[in-house]
């Protein structure tokens, strides 16, 4: 049982690091604001979610586990909202979305 938990924690951590890595690559590599907001909100949320899930597992049954779960919920509420806010700001400012063939910005 304990080995399974330990293994799950390692898998979650690895997955979390991987998706955070992908989001960092995306934020650096993608061509414009909107596309970057995609990775910032999505892969990053999943990465953070997996790592916090590992933290939840590590806590087991202590009261902290509720805090960690709450943290998970907040990340899943606030992260997409933040991405939406940034995308909306860009749209309201009139930044044209990049389309295929445009120069990278």
Interface of this chain with other proteins, residues 25 to 64, rule: CB under 8 A: 25-48, 51-52, 54-55, 58-59, 63-64
Among 8, 11, 66, 103, binds other proteins (CB under 8 A): 66
Query: Interface with other proteins includes 11 (CB under 8 A)?
Result: no
Note every long-range contact of 29-32, with CB atoms under 8 Å and residues 24 or more positions apart, other chains counting: 31/98, 31/102, 31/104, 31/105, 32/95, 32/97, 32/98, 32/102, 32/104, 32/105
4, 24, 61, 103: which one contacts other proteins (CB under 8 A)?
A: 24
């Amino acid at each position: 049982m304990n080995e399974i938990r330990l293994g799950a924690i390692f898998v979650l951590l690895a997955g979390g690091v991987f998706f955070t890595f992908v989001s960092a690559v995306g934020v650096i590599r993608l061509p414009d604001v909107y596309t970057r907001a995609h990775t910032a909100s999505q892969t990053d949320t999943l990465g953070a979610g997996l790592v916090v899930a590992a933290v939840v597992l590590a806590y087991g049954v202590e009261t902290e586990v509720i805090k960690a779960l709450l943290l998970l919920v907040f990340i899943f509420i606030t992260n997409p909202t933040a991405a939406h806010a940034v995308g909306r700001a860009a749209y309201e400012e009139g930044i044209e979305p990049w389309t295929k063939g445009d120069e990278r910005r």
